[in-house]
Chain A
């Protein structure tokens, strides 16, 4: 069940402090206002919440387990490490939590067509899945570069009946897919719901996606209390647009002694400029309809991001993360491509789990953090997705490095 809207911000106009808002063309404003209204009505409607709960349980396979990673813990010799297993959610990542919620909302709004943007393809697959299940037509915008590196997910989407539309502009990644999806939406706004997959974009998306994803954190608290008692010392999640991180952070926001750490894509290293770490190295700006931290040049032109993981290859970030950074409630760090690959290997070899490259960033940092903590403490890593989709990329990186395997 989603958090009741507005309970924890944003304000009525969608601002989280100085961040957020609705920086969009006039043509989209009415759709955003209608969407927010429909969303607030839906979460106030017991039948909608029950329907979503049933779908999350019986279709998506929730709750996902909170797994004690004993071998990883032993290797770290520090805090106990737990993994929130979103990789076990249907379609292979946390994305399904939000697509189910927005899918039901699209039906409520009477929209017969859904569009989405996707980077790694996880959100595209989750959207295509829900659309197939609900009988709604689906088009997914995906950068040509991402289509190349996430071929399997492209095939999955097509098998599910979705149309995958290649985006050739700009860096041909997630940012450009989002531009193109917004252009489609502004053209077909009367018939189409834009199912944004992250806590980015204009209000009400950052709020709505967070609420739909906060099921992750709520389950985590319940599960941790049951087996361990109390609360963990730290929660670690990767941050691209930031939906899995907001999902697990949100129920912990009021628990001030729980450290919340967001891990951005350090790419080739923060000093190289080739990364996807706007919270670590960006400045406040406006991109894709909201004000947040953005990678940009002096003139406000958006810079291309870089990450080995397509899902983190984005120069912006959700506005609530900017707010949590500004207030100090969460801290944000970066992990490089190489470190993420090490995190991938580490989890594969110690726990038999192949994490998505996005989640590998959280694994790498979470493990490093746990090593420095006491054995009496606990760290929860949000394992946002599974790594099957990334096997070819990992293999390619190995060849490039001539690492013998």
Chain B
């Protein structure tokens, strides 16, 4: 059983909802990023998504675009991101999903990346721009290396596409709440709950809802029919606001804790 599966099994047994936190590797700089990552884990995040920065993040809103710029300006590379995960793994057991756009993985070498990510202690990989049609380039390699392949479904995915995502995915299924880019939103789309229930009924994979979730009440509502909420931009905004130093990771820890408490 993978570390991600174990986590969701534990959560399922206690009836607790999961929290997935996204941060961009190397934001605001490599050392402080690690403190933020620890902060998120200490605050109770159940899964961490570590974003490999990309120069052209097409599916991301202004917050994560800015994080990518800060991270790249600080010299972050795929290799260094993996070594940060490796440092994190020495202290925490929280599952880590490597999150990114395909080109940096492709240039690193898909096989090498999967192997190195696994040995750094990562547990899964999510590639935004590898839909099922193109996933054959990486998903089998990820599985062979012992990484879960986090597949996505969106509000525009019809029944057939949802089934296809479920069949290639493992660990958990990422349900994108709205048609759009990442970023903090004020409310959840009205049809989300019904749709979550429909997807949930088709799979035994845990379902995590993401995109736009920015505060505890939203996280709570989003998980009324799902297993977990993904909070990205709202956490990245804390990094943006505090930057380097000790205050930021503390603020993130408190925010993450409030999200967890809000989902009880």
Contacts and interface: CB of A to CB of B under 8 A. Distances in A.
B124 to A, nearest CB: 17
B179 A182 contact: no
Contacts of B130: 23
Interface string A379-395: 00000000000000000
A30 B56 contact: no
Contact of A26 (B77, B107, B153): B153
B107 A175 contact: no
Contacts of B152: 25-26
Which secondary structure dominates chain A's binding surface?
mixed
B179 A285 contact: no
A27 interface: yes
Contacts of A96: none
Nearest to A187: B180
A178 to B, nearest CB: 8
A179 B56 contact: yes
Nearest to A22: B133
B161 A285 contact: no
Contacts of A287: 56, 103
Given A25-B128, A26-B165, A175 B180 contact: no
A28 B56 CA distance: 17
A289 to B, nearest CB: 7
Interface in B85-108: 101-108
B156 A29 contact: yes
Given A22-B131, A26-B165, A31-B156, A170 B104 contact: no
Nearest to B165: A26
B154 interface: yes
A170 B103 contact: no
B214 interface: no
Contact of A189 (B55, B65, B102, B156): B156
A108 to B, nearest CB: 19
Contacts of B57: 179
Interface stretch (A47-55, A75-83, A120-128, A296-304): A296-304
B58 to A, nearest CB: 5
Contact of A289 (B104, B129, B155, B176): B129
Contacts of B67: none
A243 to B, nearest CB: 21
A288 interface: yes
B54 interface: yes
**Which one of B54, B101, B133 has the greatest number of beta carbons of chain A within 10 Å?**
B133
A30 B158 contact: yes
Interface string B152-182: 1111111001000100000000001001110
A183 B154 CA distance: 15
Contacts of A23: 102, 129-131, 134
A54 to B, nearest CB: 34
B103 A187 contact: no
28 contacts: A22-B131, A23-B102, A25-B129, A26-B152, A26-B165, A27-B59, A27-B156, A29-B131, A29-B157, A30-B158, A170-B55, A170-B56, A175-B56, A179-B57, A182-B58, A183-B181, A186-B59, A186-B179, A189-B179, A285-B107, A286-B103, A286-B106, A296-B103, A299-B108, A300-B104, A300-B105, A300-B107, A302-B55
Interface of B: 54-59, 61, 65, 72, 77-79, 101-108, 128-131, 133-134, 152-158, 161, 165, 176, 179-181
Q: Which 9 A-B pairs have the closest CB atoms?
A: A300-B107, A300-B104, A27-B154, A187-B180, A300-B103, A301-B55, A23-B129, A30-B156, A25-B59
Given A23-B130, A23-B131, 14 more contacts: A22-B131, A23-B102, A25-B129, A25-B152, A26-B156, A30-B156, A30-B161, A186-B180, A187-B181, A288-B56, A288-B58, A299-B108, A300-B103, A301-B54
